[in-house]
Structure 1
Amino acid sequence: MISSQNVLSHEVIGLNILVSGAANPSHRGLSGRIIDETKNLLVIETCRGVKRIPKMHTTFQVMLPSRELVEIDGSVMVLAPEKRINLHEKKRIT
């Protein structure tokens, strides 16, 4: 089950998200649902269309299915999603 302790070892597509801090001021305050993820970007569907937000230099607040709000520094997510999930899974096991 996804929680604040293991969110980085899970898929984030489908979760609701808020950009709480960003190097680009126009990204701050954007919210919506994550519809795709690449190594360097989160693709968010907002009420004003689809936005591509860089992970680096951005802070996100993610709403987990348990209704728990988790703040994530985007720089720790700068990996291809499949590599990020496997990396954090290995760290959790050891």
Structure 2
Amino acid sequence: MEISTYNLIFHELIGLFTEVIKSTNPSIENIRGKVVGETKNMLIVETYDQCEKMVQKAGSTFLFHISTLRGNTRVTEQVKVNGNLLLSQPENRIKNIRKIRMR
């Protein structure tokens, strides 16, 4: 299934460009870069200067940039996500989309 604005929270986040637009921890606000790793509670973001930053999911708001294909045109969309919706192990979060579809 292709990633979209509707299924982003159930999808693999590694490889997506993101930025932290709001956080309870002010030192991680405005971190932006490519997601290179993910745990239950953290995203690992590689910034432009090749540093890896650990960003907590809880209490943070992320802006993800996703590229989708509409007809023959590739469109980049921005999706604002509350990090609390991402709190789970990545493999379990990805499995949840199947459960929602079966209902």
Amino acid at match of 1:59: T
**Aligned counterparts of 2:6 and 2:48: Cα–Cα separation in 1:** 30
Q: Which is greater in Rg?
A: 2
Between the aligned residues of both structures, percent identity stands at 35
Q: Please identify which structure carries the higher strand content.
A: 2
Gaps in structure 1 of 5+ consecutive residues:
none
Q: Which residue in 1 is equivalent to 2:8?
A: 7
Deviations 1:13-38, CA, capped at 9 Å, x for gaps: 00000101001111111100000000
How big is the shift at 1:92? 3.0
Runs of 4+ in 1 over 2 A off after TM superposition: none
Aligned residue number for residue 73 of structure 2: none
1:88, distance to aligned residue in structure 2 (A): 2.8
- Find 2:64's aligned residue among 62, 65, 70: 62
RMSD: 1.0
Tell me the number of residue pairs that the alignment of Structure 1 and Structure 2 aligns.
94
8 Å Cα contact 1:62/1:69 also seen in 2:
yes
